[in-house]
Amino acid sequence: MEREEVKVKLIRQFPVEVVETEGSMSRIYYSCPTCGRSVSKGMDKCTGCEQVLSWKNIGRKEKQDGSRKAVLEFDVPEEFVAGDCRRCPISYLYKEGLDDVYECPLRMRGSCRLRIK
């Protein structure tokens, strides 16, 4: 075994925090920070590169455009349905000519993704 290979194997014995990534349908995936392969929650070692993994402080990977997902929770009236900007407590009203227009500050008008619990 070459000296460089031994060095890499030794370095990979030190635990490194796994990376949490949000995939499609808001599903959470975990990956090895060294090689990027998917790992199952609780694995102690990556099967791809043999990196020892730590689950104490899971790192969160930003999306490719540099954004991160935020969650905002607030109360809505009982009769509220997603997409009803007139009853949404975060929408705002502005004048366009003589008309009052409701606008979504999250720019989701017409494609509201609010989830009602």
Is there a single domain that holds both residue 55 and residue 75? no
Of 60, 83, 100, the residue at which a domain comes to its end is 60
Summarised one tens digit per residue, pLDDT across range 44-96 is: 999 999 999 988 877 666 555 555 556 667 777 788 888 777 778 777 777 78
Of 11, 28, 60, the residue at which a domain comes to its end is 60
Is there a single domain that holds both residue 91 and residue 55? no
Q: Which of 59, 25, 24 minimizes the C-alpha distance to 39?
A: 59
Amino acid at 96: E
The residue with tokens 């392969």 is 37
**Residue 65 counted as domain residue:** no
Distance CA 10, CA 23 (A): 32
Is there a single domain that holds both residue 89 and residue 40? no
- Domain of residue 9 covers 3-60
Is there a single domain that holds both residue 7 and residue 52? yes
pLDDT of residue 66: 55
Summarised one tens digit per residue, pLDDT across range 91-109 is: 777 778 888 877 777 777 7
Q: Total structural domains in the chain?
A: 2
Instruction: Note whether 88 and 77 are within 8 A (CB).
Output: no
Q: What is the mean pLDDT of residues 28-33?
A: 87
pTM over 0.75: no
